[in-house]
Amino acid sequence: MNTLTPLARIGSAPVGSALTRRQKAAIIIRLALSHGADVPLQDLPEDLQIDLTRILGGMRPITRDQLNDVVEEFAQELEALGLTFPRGVAGALSVLDGRISAHTAARLRKEAGVRQTGDPWDRIRKLDPKKLVPIIESESLEVAAIILSKLDISTAAELLGLLPGEKARRITYAVSQTTSVTPDALERIGISLAAQLDTVNEGAFDTDPEERVGAILNFSTAATRDDVLTGLEETDKDFADRVRKAIFTFMNIPDRIAPRDIPKVVRGIDQSVLVTAIGGCTTPEATRAADYILENMSGRMADAIREEVKDAGKVKPKDAEAAMTRSRRVPLALPWAFRIEPMIAPVGRGSGWRRIAVRSAPALPPDRQPSQPAPSKPRHAQHRPHNAPPPPLAGHGTLRRLWQVHDQDD
């Protein structure tokens, strides 16, 4: 009968200090994976992932004493570790992401010859659908179909609505031809698209031109506003239409503010100003706005304002315009109470205009924000008894440090 070979006679890993640092790191990773830990090895560079796989494949059983020594050494290094820094410009840009200007980041990335780190598709999915339209229109149908397939469902639907009907139909049909796309090709397409985004010059302004012009015209007189819009319509009708949507005047209140938000607006307006503004409503658009305000406030207050308007008599046009300007500043100055959005928006090509309300959840004013809890002490900085188990494994940055450290034993 065949006899089993004793475990002690099977080739084992080197003992004690004979283990290289990379072998020790492999032991820690193997131990973490065996206990169900989610170690983000995919974030390591590809060459390190290959080295790790080969070393794990070449390792032999180790004793419990060897395992305890490696874990204890790993825990001691974690406790002694004070601060780590990223490697290279790419790592530094990742740490400073969102804290330095986009223009500076793009310049450093271009000078160093590095691209955005991480999954390029994550970056593409975070883009505004309007910024994806030029990319979709410049790419082939197959690439456009792949981009559409990688987006979130809601973003993909919004993007289709921004495209011409014929283009949208051809792209959706091309989605059926993407079944043979390989993961490598998908990654190369994502990297290429991310590189295109890196080459796009960052604008000097954070808002669109129509928003900037609309903000200026919001506080201009009616005569100036009408004159500017008339000139814009003669020069560029499309831009003039976008500016009109960005403008918020007293006459836009019925279309831009929900009925339940009217009491919030009225509370912020001095009653004498509101009386003057309502009393000066002579055009059909202004009268419609005044009626909308009165119908959506408390009945007692509405009756009182109507009585004051009647007693005040005729209002001078100049005083009425000044009061309307002051009245519309209140909702513009209260972004924490509700958001003003255009309630008229295009929904796809060829489907006409549809009245939609885009609202945000109410938030607390700045002076009533909840206080932030004090940060807890890092676990690796807490006292650990000598006989206690080692602390939880650190993130992939520590593993990267253990893996990339100059190994004198290799």
Q: With contact defined as beta carbons under 8 Å apart, do 150 and 125 qualify?
A: yes
What does the pLDDT read at residue 54?
93
Domain boundaries 115-199, CATH class: mainly alpha
Phi-psi region of 98 (alpha: psi -120 to 50; beta: other; left: phi over 0): left
Distance of CA 130 to the CA centre of its chain: 14
What does the pLDDT read at residue 46?
81
Spatial distance between the Cα atoms of 36 and 31, rounded to a whole number of angstroms: 9
Q: With contact defined as beta carbons under 8 Å apart, do 129 and 159 qualify?
A: yes
Q: Provide the β-strand partners of residue 26.
A: none
Q: With contact defined as beta carbons under 8 Å apart, do 280 and 325 qualify?
A: no
Backbone angles phi, psi at 221, to 5 degrees: -70, 160
For 382, other C-beta atoms within 10 Å of its C-beta total 10
- One-letter amino acid identity for 338? F
Spatial distance between the Cα atoms of 269 and 330, rounded to a whole number of angstroms: 7
Domain ranges of the chain: 8-82+392-404, 115-199, 206-248, 251-339
Helix (H, G, I), strand (E, B) or coil at 116: coil
Helix (H, G, I), strand (E, B) or coil at 88: helix
Per-residue pLDDT of the chain (410 residues; tens, 9 = 90+): 445 444 444 444 554 458 899 999 999 999 999 999 888 888 787 888 999 999 999 998 999 999 999 999 999 998 998 888 887 777 788 788 888 887 787 777 766 655 555 577 887 888 888 888 888 888 888 899 999 998 888 888 888 888 888 888 999 999 988 888 888 888 888 888 877 776 655 566 777 888 888 888 887 877 888 889 889 988 888 888 888 888 888 888 888 888 888 888 888 888 888 899 898 888 888 889 889 999 998 889 999 989 998 888 888 888 888 888 888 766 655 543 344 444 433 333 333 333 333 333 334 344 444 444 444 444 444 444 444 444 444 444 444 444 444 343 44
Extract the tokens encoding 32: 């973490």
Task: Give, to the nearest 10 degrees, the angle between helix 284-295 and helix 271-279.
Answer: 140
For 168, other C-beta atoms within 10 Å of its C-beta total 19
> Do the two domains 115-199 and 251-339 of this chain adopt the same fold?
yes
Backbone angles phi, psi at 355, to 5 degrees: -85, 115
Extract the tokens encoding 356: 């939609």
- Cα angle vertex 130, ends 126, 132, to 5°? 60
Domain 251-339 has CATH 2.60.40.1150: no
Helices first, then strands: H and E counts in the chain = 21, 2
What does the pLDDT read at residue 330?
66
Extract the tokens encoding 18: 């004979």
